[in-house]
Structure 1
Amino acid sequence: MNTTLQPVLFNHDEVADLYKEIGSSSLMGKTIERLQTDLEQYMGLPMDVPGQSEAGGYEHNKHRQNYHYINLAGRLFLITKDERYAEYAGQLLTQYADKYLQLDFHVQRNTNPPGRLFHQMLNEHMWLMYASLGYSCISTWLTGSQREHIVEYLFKPMLHVATEKYDYDFDRIHNHGIWAVAAAGICGLAIGERKYLEMAVYGLKGDGKAGGFLAQLSELFSPSGYYIEGPYYHRFAIRPLAVFAEVLHRHMPELDIYNYKGQVIKQTTQALLATAYPNGLFPALNDASKSMGITDMGVVVAVSMVFKRYGFDKNLLGMAQIQEQVWMHPCGQVLSEACDAEANIEPPFWPSVELNEGPDGTCGAQGFLRMQGNDKDICQLSMNYGQHGMGHGHFDTLGVAFYSRGQEVLREYGFARWVNIEPKFGGRYLDENKSYARQTINHNGVTVDEGCQNHFAVDRADRMHGKPHFFIGEGTELQAMSAFADEHYPGVGMQRTVMLLKSDQLENPLLIDLYRLTSDKPHQYDYSHQYQGQIIRTDFEYKTNSELHPLGDNYGYQHLWNLARGEAGSHALVSWLQGNSYYTWLGTSSRIDNEVIFTQTGANDSQFNLRHETSFIMRTTGKDLLFASALETHGYFNEAVEASVDARGKLNNIDVLAHNETGSVVAIEGEGIRFIVMVSNQPNVTDTTEHRIIINDKTYSWKGFLAVEQETK
């Protein structure tokens, strides 16, 4: 046997330590047991190396399963010493070697180059990385002829396609590029061809700048670690990043990869984890699934890796508890042991954070505020004032999402796509992803003249970004963030300030939102809120439409049924029940002719591609104006025991007192309580800037970014 080859991710001492975990009650022991059961069940099925299909078809999914179980069988062979696993992985690899060169390349149906196994090379690279990892675990167990057959007829041809046939795609700075270099580098190590590792690290030009893993780390992530395409694609890119980083730590220690570029690997992992809701799901920023969270395997790997390589963090213990597993690797064992040693593991509570965007951190940011209520519930408010997000970006600068009491209250739609459901357009993005999901009206923001930000022009949007105004994330009673977005609608200036306010008079932190618009010309402004639940009450009359028509004819409006509308006058109250909680929204503008429109998706959706989602929109017209709203979380409902408590919130009125270039002043009132909210509108405000606004002979003054005065009546 060829003893020069070795497992890419393990050494013999580490394997021996993992062997001791078999049958234990630790997270690692449970992980091994679950994965072993999973593998045994798959091995009970007929072995099949199929041909080709579109994304989501049987063949596509079977290839995905096969690479997963080749990798799993290889690792479990090392850990358990069960030779059945090595034999199984070897047989699968041999069958792929028999068949790979007999397959022609897929017919290209999108912009990504096609592979022989999959419709796009991205999936081929995923297959190659995992299959190479599994092969490295069994290579010394295989006979020389078996190794030669697999290397010559499978791995080398796949490397040729990746680095020569599609060389233009190999050095692409993109999540596809991270998978490409990780696959090639790991495969090169597994078969003893180190030149591919050099290509993977430094790129095809060998300079570490035009392509390769180092260039990916340098250019894809901002100084804060945020990934331009959002958490959904970040958790996808983090998997090869974390795995390949661990490979390089072991096989190219001279790189000192975990300290590269100011510990960018740590920064980007923490940035991803810091976007997650308290329940572990990621907000669906940009193209994203509503159900993707930290239990994704890429995040499991990253949590174990970052804990081992960068030290103890109690939030990572909380995340491991949610994941209920660790990476079956020495990194995961360290995390498992730390969990065992901790008497009480709290749910993760990441601090509020502003994640800057762009290679140098100057292209706006994504803001995340978190505050804990009196009942220990964690609410989270996010706002987008960063970059567009390349090909997966949505047109929603200054859009927000809000999470409270274990559920998303002001909701993101995510993508219009049914992943791997082949009858739904092959599992690819649907046409409605462009016509609705990415449109401005589909987000919690303001739409101008029923149009889309940047006219839905990706090239223009990629050149634009929000401008941070201020961020206050350390307070236990008041946190806030503010940003500008000018020229996203030509000729219209936008500024949004959102805050979380904790008061003894209220059950949960109050969300306060001030959205200011300025223009030399009059416009229609639609201030939209995507919610889910049952409308409980309003304080204005509205008329439901017995005959439904779309709200508009383009930019997403064509997909909205106009369900009902009513004149709200100077302000409006909308209350709804979602789950076991009540939410009451108070909204107003500096105009007195506001209208509220209730909508539901489904118009012009002949193939039922859209989910049925509801929203309400406050509409008004003007040049310069301020929308202001407060969202109160309150009460409790349990249908099983017919219990309803505090179905009416304490707040009942909101007024815009003033807004100008100096600042905005808003009053929020309710039962025995009154808040005066004062926010700076000055772009260059500092914490020492003095503000003074006179309204009806009364002077409102404050220092710094904002102030909230509470009066008890």
Structure 2
Amino acid sequence: MKTGLHTLLKHKIYLLLLWVLQIYFSSPAQEHPNLILTKTGVKNIRKQLGSIPMFDNTLVKVKAEVDKEIQSGIHVPIPKDMAGGYTHDRHKKNWIILQKAGLLYQLLEDEKYAMYTHNVLKEYAKMYPSLPLHPKKRSYARGKIFWQCLNDANWLVYVSQAYDCIYDYLDKDQRNYLEKNLFVPYANFLSKENPQFFNRIHNHSTWGNVAVGMIGLVMNNQELINRALYGMKIENFDHELKDNDGGFILKKDEKAGFFANLDSPFSPDGYYTEGPYYQRYAMYPFMIFAQALQNKKPELKIFEYKDGVLINSVNTLLNLTNINGDFFPINDAQKGMSYYSKELVSAVNIAYYYGNNSPSLLDIAQKQNSVRLDQTGLSVSQGIKENKRIPFSKNSIEFTDGSNGNEGGIGILRSKDKQHELVMKYSAHGLSHGHYDKLSFSYYHKGNEVMQDYGLARFVNIEQKNGGGYLKENKTWAKQTIAHNTIIQDENSHFNGEYEKGSLHHSEKYIFDTSHPKLQIVSAKESNAYQNTRLHRTMLLLEDLGFQKPLLIDIMQFVSNGAHQFDLPYYYHGQIIDTNFDFETFDTLSPLGLKSGYQHLWLENKTVIDDTKTAQITWLHNDAFYTLSTFTKAKNEILFTRIGANDPRHNLRRDPSFIIRKPQSKNDTFITVIETHGTYNPVTEIAKNSSSSIKEIKEVKTDNENYLGWKIITKDDNEHTFVLCVTNNQKETQHSIYLNNSPIQWIGPYYYSKN
């Protein structure tokens, strides 16, 4: 009996083993490349080389770049420098060259590129097992090859693509050596050993998640892939971790990983809460990992996730640029970054290929004049060759903030000819890269800043300036409210400059309306920046034949329980031409204040208004004239300031500003108009229309405290009358009030007339 049972069990085990072996041997072997390039894609590209100009031109440039590096030899120095130093820049160049060399091996079938890639990786594999933490102790998460884990993650995101491209070139022992000594410990270092870096909602963590996920996909390591997608499970972790700036808090069991970083920072519109500068930076790992997942794990339907937020985000990001393609500097942002960056070349190519081939993206790609050396770049190149391109039109548009689109947003008003662009910020804080500037704005004419946002205080990758990292003035100046074109109470920043407080609140949109033929309007409220004070800013872009160019009208209302000093700064570029008031000058410059950024402003001139009047300042910039006209009352002040006080290392730009001050005010409104007019030709030395066309701004009394009214009167006596209902923003509501004792009626939250 036992013998029969034993025989039966042996038979069943035999059948089970046979079944397992059958499955194993019948399963298709893992093909490489399979992340960004695929076997099929490579074959398709090879067939068309020489017939697709933009792709071919990019390939020629990349080949020349990589050939030059191969000729120079292998350079894998022991890490020691901050950003901008030799070892930092050398390892950064290595990650770029390795990724490109891998592509060239696949596309050109030249083994020298695979051999070079392998030889460099062997040097890293020799060095990595004994490599200590980076000697520079500056980061909340020190790397090994770089001073911060962020750059270590950058390296692995790119190098994983190179490894995928040469995977089949290597034998099993060679792969095992690289994976055991380099790739697996590298991925564990970024994730297991640095949860404060890996398990966050932040662009840093996105890079970390994608680095681990990409190398996991190459090695078919499901544990690493899951870690990347869903975060690192933290054991024996029951305390909070903060970065050196207090810019985030890591909590146990908080959602993390790639999907969490898609869910939380992105609004349904595709706006990324940190702002466009860091959205641009994060788009590379977001899009490249999505492409890899689409190739290897199509069942995830990653480009459909959250209603296609990744594809939407590319369109959003392109709309967050001025007419020249430069990103609007919202929150921490280096000016001059644009959609010509390598991250946006990738994003545009991938969005075109996986987003139904939107022909307007070809317009951007043609301007970028470069493509990815993969199937997405081939597709873009073919579309341009076949003349499928249509213009990418940037119009007035609003983007919501917050994962559910209910945390304020960004409003952009563009003139009909697209020459004037207003950006108003009424968003959430923006994580650790956020600034304390609710209801701030910046304003552009022909891509030039008329009213500018400072951006960040940092010289990225310039070693002499704090190793290329953030300067202390980023905290003491750039993040502070006075550094922005928005209202300040009692010389204190919004939320007292405290991250935890600022992160709890967002402004509320009141109106965004571009339907009027002459008038576009964006309006928002802020109730938490100061205790017991309510702020309401409304900005209008008026295009009327009575003015040479559009007018920007700025209405900033404040209502407080007590009397306070309120300042409204305007940061400009250019040379003052004229004022319609006298002002005091000082023999000795002094800082404007002691804290909250005021300590960085020199007070250059000052005037105290002696009666109600329209104060005007005209300046010249880039051969155009601009006039700021503002309604002022007795004892209001106008201050002329310049950045640079308490800045012994010259870390800050010496930008000028006007500050309109209302001392000891409880309820009042700043009414200001910025007019573009005239030209100056430095060759003919002829100035045209150098004076403002505005004669006066008047506050108009209504019979109801729920309404604000004002008039703009031109020198030819045209009157433009405006009324805003500040308590009801419904488009269908009928309004009936008395304005200067005359009845008026209208439908919707605002009224405009000209006579």
TM range (shorter): over 0.9
CA contact (8 A) 2:139 2:147 kept: no
| Amino acid of the structure 1 residue aligned with 2:200 | R
1:531 counterpart = 2:576: no
- Cα distance per residue 1:268-310 (max 9 Å; x no partner): 2222222111211111111110111111222211111111111
Work out the CA distance in 1 between the residues paired with 2:65 and 2:563: 62
1:383 counterpart = 2:391: no
Specify which of 191, 199, 206 is matched with residue 178 of structure 1: 206
Query: How many Å apart are 1:3 and its aligned residue?
Result: 7.2
> Any stretches of 5+ residues in structure 1 without a counterpart?
none
| 2:405 counterpart residue number | 361
Query: Cα distance 1:194–1:474, how it changes in 2: closer, same or farther (>3 A)?
Result: farther
Work out the CA distance in 2 between the residues paired with 1:317 and 1:32: 19
Specify which of 678, 686, 711 is matched with residue 667 of structure 1: 711
Specify which of 39, 47, 56 is matched with residue 12 of structure 1: 39
| 2:337 counterpart residue number | 292
Three-state SS of the structure 2 residue aligned to 1:421 is coil
Specify which of 641, 652, 668 is matched with residue 610 of structure 1: 652
Work out the CA distance in 2 between the residues paired with 1:344 and 1:163: 43
Specify which of 129, 140, 149 is matched with residue 112 of structure 1: 140
| 2:117 counterpart residue number | 89
- Cα distance per residue 1:398-417 (max 9 Å; x no partner): 00011112212110101111
| 1:496 counterpart residue number | 537
Work out the CA distance in 1 between the residues paired with 2:523 and 2:319: 19
Query: Cα distance 1:504–1:19, how it changes in 2: closer, same or farther (>3 A)?
Result: farther
| Amino acid of the structure 1 residue aligned with 2:419 | I
- Cα distance per residue 1:447-468 (max 9 Å; x no partner): 1111111111111111111011
Work out the CA distance in 2 between the residues paired with 1:364 and 1:460: 16
Aligned length in residues: 703
Query: Cα distance 1:322–1:454, how it changes in 2: closer, same or farther (>3 A)?
Result: same
Q: How does 1:262-661 map to 2 (within 5 A)?
A: 262-342=307-387, 346=391, 348-373=392-417, 377-568=418-609, 569=611, 570-589=613-632, 591-621=633-663, 622-658=665-701, 661=705
Work out the CA distance in 1 between the residues paired with 2:352 and 2:586: 56
CA contact (8 A) 1:202 1:209 kept: no
Work out the CA distance in 1 between the residues paired with 2:131 and 2:232: 27
Query: How many Å apart are 1:472 and its aligned residue?
Result: 0.8
Work out the CA distance in 1 between the residues paired with 2:161 and 2:517: 47
| Amino acid of the structure 1 residue aligned with 2:694 | L
Question: Quick check: 50-59 or 393-402, which moved more?
Answer: 50-59
CA contact (8 A) 1:662 1:691 kept: no
Work out the CA distance in 1 between the residues paired with 2:483 and 2:48: 49
Work out the CA distance in 2 between the residues paired with 1:28 and 1:475: 44
TM-score (norm. length: structure 2): 0.89
Three-state SS of the structure 2 residue aligned to 1:85 is helix
| 2:11 counterpart residue number | none
1:132 counterpart = 2:175: no
Q: How does 1:668-683 map to 2 (within 5 A)?
A: 668-672=712-716, 673-682=718-727
Work out the CA distance in 2 between the residues paired with 1:429 and 1:476: 45
| Amino acid of the structure 2 residue aligned with 1:73 | A
| Amino acid of the structure 1 residue aligned with 2:175 | R
Work out the CA distance in 2 between the residues paired with 1:661 and 1:305: 53
Specify which of 52, 57, 62 is matched with residue 90 of structure 2: 62
TM-score (norm. length: structure 1): 0.94
| 1:685 counterpart residue number | 729
Query: How many Å apart are 1:338 and its aligned residue?
Result: 2.1
CA contact (8 A) 1:588 1:594 kept: no
Question: Quick check: 46-55 or 254-263, which moved more?
Answer: 46-55
Query: How many Å apart are 1:533 and its aligned residue?
Result: 0.6
Three-state SS of the structure 2 residue aligned to 1:367 is strand
> Any stretches of 5+ residues in structure 2 without a counterpart?
1-28, 235-252
Question: Quick check: 273-282 or 500-509, which moved more?
Answer: 500-509
Q: Percentage identity across aligned positions? A: 33
Specify which of 235, 250, 257 is matched with residue 280 of structure 2: 235
Query: How many Å apart are 1:27 and its aligned residue?
Result: 2.6
Query: Cα distance 1:484–1:61, how it changes in 2: closer, same or farther (>3 A)?
Result: same
Query: Cα distance 1:65–1:259, how it changes in 2: closer, same or farther (>3 A)?
Result: same
Q: How does 1:187-226 map to 2 (within 5 A)?
A: 187-204=215-232, 210-226=255-271
Query: How many Å apart are 1:430 and its aligned residue?
Result: 1.0
Work out the CA distance in 1 between the residues paired with 2:439 and 2:330: 12
CA contact (8 A) 2:202 2:431 kept: no
Query: How many Å apart are 1:151 and its aligned residue?
Result: 1.8
- Cα distance per residue 1:209-266 (max 9 Å; x no partner): 8332222212221222211111111111111000000111111111111111211212
Query: Cα distance 1:460–1:644, how it changes in 2: closer, same or farther (>3 A)?
Result: same
Question: Quick check: 286-295 or 476-485, which moved more?
Answer: 476-485
Query: Cα distance 1:475–1:413, how it changes in 2: closer, same or farther (>3 A)?
Result: same
1:707 counterpart = 2:751: yes
| 2:178 counterpart residue number | 150
| 1:35 counterpart residue number | 62
Question: Quick check: 133-142 or 660-669, which moved more?
Answer: 660-669
CA contact (8 A) 1:571 1:594 kept: no
Query: How many Å apart are 1:354 and its aligned residue?
Result: 1.9
| 2:247 counterpart residue number | none
- Cα distance per residue 1:531-560 (max 9 Å; x no partner): 001111111112332321111111111111
| Amino acid of the structure 1 residue aligned with 2:586 | N
| Amino acid of the structure 1 residue aligned with 2:395 | P
Query: Cα distance 1:193–1:497, how it changes in 2: closer, same or farther (>3 A)?
Result: same
Query: Cα distance 1:647–1:21, how it changes in 2: closer, same or farther (>3 A)?
Result: farther
Question: Quick check: 670-679 or 394-403, which moved more?
Answer: 670-679
Work out the CA distance in 2 between the residues paired with 1:240 and 1:272: 15
1:255 counterpart = 2:300: yes
| Amino acid of the structure 2 residue aligned with 1:504 | L
Work out the CA distance in 2 between the residues paired with 1:652 and 1:29: 59
- Cα distance per residue 1:65-87 (max 9 Å; x no partner): 10011001111221222332222
Query: What RMSD in Å do the two structures reach over aligned CA positions?
Result: 2.2
| Amino acid of the structure 2 residue aligned with 1:357 | D
CA contact (8 A) 2:548 2:676 kept: yes
